[in-house]
Structure 1
Amino acid sequence: MQESSEVAGSIVSEDCLDEVIQEQIKTLKNAQTAALSAVTKRRNEIFRLMDNCDNLHLVKSEVIILCKLRDKYDESFQQYEKHLTDSSERNTVNKRHSENTASIDRFITEMNNWVKESELQLTADLDRKSLCSSSTTRTKSSRTSVRSARLKEKARLAELMAQHAMREKTKVMEEQELRLKQEREEQEFRLRKKKEQLELETKIAMSQARERVYAEADNISDIVPKDTPSPLNPNVDPFQPQPSDITVDTPQLKANVPCSSSHCRFPEPNLDMQLQSQQEMFLKTQQHMTAAMLLPSIEVPKFKGDPIEFATFMMAFDARIAPNASGDADKLYYLDQQLEGEAKDLIGGCLYMSSSEGYTSARSLLSQEYGDPYKVSMAYIKKLISWSALKHEDPHGLYTFALFLIKCRHAMTNLSHMEVLNHLPNLQAVVKKLPTYLQNKWCSLAGHLREEKGGVDFADLVEFVYRKAKAANDPTFSKFALQNNYSKP
């Protein structure tokens, strides 16, 4: 039993030894692989550097590092090869190592050749640069003249380009002017044709009126009996009236009862006066239409979704487009054409409805969205509060601001929501838009108004700003008018 236990112990110790050896071989193999990977990585970096001769000094330093890595790879291989016991595996490893070593040597050879060629090329470049530097002095004056000539050519080219650009702009302006002239001539031609047509229609209407009057006169003459004596009975003695004391009331004949007596006649109508009255009426109509045609055409501005401009737009549309449209279909089409942006998108679905319902729905949608009194009031107030502060020397900006304040004051008469402008915080916000010198003047005026009538309102502020804006833009005695007069020679 003692011998068997010794044999078993020897077997266990041999197994442990084999595991240790295998682990060591594996470690050495990994070290060899890592060394080879380092060599390969360095080769790739050197290969990228060899694309440019300017990297010559870098390549030389990399050669030294690559040789050290190669030596480290040989050492790791020798350590690994010593521990191999299998002859076939050893042969395989030796063969692979020989191939890797040969590849590294070839690359080092190529690298050394590249270093030599690069040195020769750099030397040639230096020689060429030295020759060029020696001739620089001789060619300096010529280069200066060439540079001057180039600058002149560039200036000439810039001038030609500017002339070309101006010629193109002039051409565009001439085309626009020609197009406007043609449109104006076409408009005048259409107006002339309309005028001629109106005169012709007036003559036709006058002729028809005369014809109707004469026809009525003929009808009346047919009703009125001819002034001819009635046949008498020859067998009857002539009537001799006898005086009598009895008076008999003779009944009056009615106008609508026909009478066959020669003494009963209807008054003929005054045909000339009727004809003259109708002619005067047609002449007045013709003069009114002719005067309307001679007036400049009124363009209805397009509505872009500003609630402040909605009432003006609808008034213009109802005055200039709606009365002349033949039906709801035309009204809906023209209404869509006069809209832009969100307003146009708002009624887009109404175009797919019937003409009557679509036009009614489109106007209703626009009124709800842009004609609501609260929304209109908020648009006025928002624009007023967001107005930029006025500068000290800006009379035109002050006048524009004053006009908008007047517009707000007029809107307050129909928009009750804008009464909030009379509140103190809103008045203060408006005063802050004014220049400092006007703020001080308003402060003095506000104190006087409070003593006089117990407070101030938005109308007082509007009147103050408008008065100061007119004074700042006075064409005779304002600051800018006097300065312009002084500046004249």
Structure 2
Amino acid sequence: MLSGEEDPVEEEANRGHLSLPSMYHELSNRRKDILLELLAESETLQKVLETAKSADVNFVKDKHSKWLNLYEKFLEINTSYQALLSPDAIKIDQSQLKHERDRFENIKLSICSWFSNNKPDDTRSRISHFSGRSGRSNMSALSSSKLRESTRKAEILERQAALEEEEKLEEEKLKLKFKEERLKLKTEIRVSDAKSKVIEDLEKNMLYDDEVEHDIKVTRQKEKYVLPESPIKIVHESENGLLKMTQELNKPKVEIIKFTGNPMEYKRFVRQFDAKVNKNTDSYDEKINYLLQFTTGEAYKIALGYSHLNARVGYNATMKEFEDRYGDPDIVANSYVKKALEWPIVKDDPKALDSYSIFLMECQYAIENV
């Protein structure tokens, strides 16, 4: 391959098939230099063969020896160079060197022809024997060299493939790491926003606690002065009594959930107890017994302690103690805030995030109505 023709290694690099370190450039340049020197020596040897006579055998031998050394050196470096190329690049390189290889084969044929025509039979026999032995030796050396370079090329290709796989794996790991960090940050931002909203709602509602308590007192006072219902209205309501009773009997049975002493469950328990017990009995003995039945834990211990008193006194004392311990707006609000702040960190889990969202909604409505 002479100057002006594209180097297959550079062509491979331009396509992105391999990198082009300094060793590739060095092999390419050395091969070009030796090829130019070999071509010049081939031209000189060809002229010598055309003009030399039988008396110039030693002179021809010297020229042939010099040419042969350059030719073997070229074959060796060419083998090393092509070991670094892909199969397609090797075909291109061999195609580009076809003219030079044909010229070298013609030189070898010319040399054999010249020695055959300018030496006695015994000398020709020795030359032929030497040439055959030298050729076999050179071919054996070249085969060994080619095998070594082929093995070396296979090892380089394996390392290159392993390096590419490792590079891809590291890129995937890095992408996953960044994705995980982004999801983590998004989750922390959402949780922080939710907690901030709950705290803001609590602060707003706590400012209106006094006003709400005042409104309740005013409403209760008004209820004391409601005028008696007219006889016509009483008769009308009595006519609808059977219908209401039927409706009550057809309602599904509602179980009272036992109260454990959790301030967040207190309002629900009082509402259920009023609906199922207080509205259906005026007996304080029954009320205190139901209270013992539907409480557990700390709440049960409080009810049990007051159950030794008179039924009416014990029931009222128990409900007052419950209201002070579990119904105070500040206590209820603090319970919701504590649970919200202690909520486990929610990562990339839609169900967990939805559960936390429902709890925050419960916080908002509970605080608005304490």
TM range (shorter): 0.3 to 0.5
TM-score (normalizing by structure 1): 0.27
Q: Which of structures 1 and 2 has the larger relative contact order (alpha carbons within 8 angstroms, sep 6+)?
A: 2
- Bigger helix share: 2
Q: Over alpha carbons, which structure has the higher Rg?
A: 1
